Amino acid sequence: MNIALLGYGKMGKTIEQIAINRGHKIVLTVDKDDDNYDITKADVAIDFSIPTVAFNNISNCLNNGVPVISGTTGWLEHYDKAVALCEEKKGAFIYASNYSLGVNIFFELNKTLAKMMSTLKQYNVSMEEIHHTQKLDAPSGTAISLANDIIAHNSNFEKWQLDESGEKTIPIVAKRIADVPGTHTIKYESEVDTISIEHIAHNRQGFALGAVVAAEWIVGKSGVFSMNDVLNIG
């Protein structure tokens, strides 16, 4: 497969190595100020860029008939527009806040636990995410997905907030520590005990492998998909 990498930073470079090892060719890498490029030479594009440009990158792919996988976080206010454009152009698109197999299993565990805890009002929930100091957005896209899944499966919670607690609110603490690839912890605490679940990424390989697997999966399909479709879980 011919792959375009939109964003050639930490993730773009990790994806490049995994894609080459799986027999693919990187035909284009796009970074800041690379404006004039022909996306149509790629069979599929993988966007791991920055929040302010992700929607433009995705639109450019969809407008040119190139399937696109996006892992960029922090741009979700435009997600519905991306879905509408994909449908209009009969294109193919996946956004996932986290492409790793481990986190996608963790997402399912979180939903099950949220459902189990819904009748146990003595427990307060809280979430913590830890990432490296170059991260531009907070809370992480993964933390937002986890919080939204708790809200969807447990009627005791209606919203999440960064660094604040409140009624029916899931408080999220975002910590930035050098070189941490990504740690997410969810805690349910009562007066007598604590239940916690945690996912710790040891490096970026899991995210990158998931993105390449999603790119392999989407070619030849049309529609808006999720990692649950790719991994056949959930």
Ligand X SMILES: O=C(O)C1=N[C@H](C(=O)O)C[C@H](O)C1
Ligand Y SMILES: NC(=O)C1=CN([C@@H]2O[C@H](COP(=O)(O)OP(=O)(O)OC[C@H]3O[C@@H](n4cnc5c(N)ncnc54)[C@H](OP(=O)(O)O)[C@@H]3O)[C@@H](O)[C@H]2O)C=CC1
Binding site for ligand X (CB under 6 A): 73, 97-98, 131, 135, 140-142, 182
Q: Do residues 92 and 68 make contact, with C-beta atoms less than 8 angstroms apart?
A: yes
Residues 6+ apart with CB under 8 A from 80: none
Tell me how far apart the alpha carbons of residues 15 and 10 are, in angstroms, rounded to a whole number: 9
Indicate which residue of 13, 78, 111, 135 is catalytic.
135
Among the residue ranges 25-33, 104-112, 152-160, 212-220, the one whose residues contact ligand Y (CB under 6 A) = 25-33
| 10 lies in the binding site for ligand Y (CB under 6 A) | yes
30, interface contact from ligand X, ligand Y, none, CB < 5-8 Å by kind: ligand Y
Closest CB to ligand X among residues 12, 141: 141
Q: Is 132 one of the annotated binding-site residues? A: yes
- Residue 8's binding partner among ligand Y, ligand X, none (Cβ under 5 to 8 angstroms by kind) is ligand Y
Is 24 a known ligand-binding residue? no
Q: Is 183 in the site for ligand Y (CB under 6 A)?
A: no
Q: Respond yes or no: is residue 135 known to be catalytic.
A: yes
Residue 203 known to bind ligand:
no
Asked if 180 interacts with ligand Y (CB under 6 A), we say no
Of 131, 159, 168, 187, catalytic = 131
**In the complex with ligand X, which residue's Cβ is closer, 14 or 154?**
14
The continuous run of DSSP H or E covering 2 comes out as strand 2-6
Q: What's the number of CA atoms in the CB half-sphere (13 Å) around residue 35?
A: 1
**Dihedral angle over CA of 72, 23, 218, 43, nearest 10:** 90
Answer whether 199's CB lies under 8 Å from 155's CB: no
Beta carbon nearer to ligand X, 135 or 187: 135
Residue 199 is among the residues annotated as catalytic for this protein:
no
DSSP for 113-141, please give it.
Answer: HHHHHTT-TTPEEEEEEEE-TT--SSS-H
97 among annotated binding-site residues:
yes
Whether 99 has a binding-site annotation, put simply, is yes
**Neighbouring residues of 125: CB distance < 8 A, sequence distance ≥ 6:** 117, 150, 154, 157, 170, 186, 187, 188
Asked whether 72 and 9 are in contact (CB, 8 A), the reply is no
Among the candidate windows 6-14, 58-66, 77-85, 167-175, which touches ligand Y by CB under 6 A? 6-14
Query: DSSP secondary-structure letter at 66?
Result: -
Rule CB under 6 A: say whether 7 interacts with ligand Y.
Answer: yes
Helices (H) and strands (E) in the chain, counts: 7, 11
Contacts with ligand Y by CB under 6 A lie at 6-12, 30-32, 48-50, 53, 57, 71-74, 96-99, 134, 207
Binding positions for (S)-2,3,4,5-tetrahydrodipicolinate are 132, 141-142
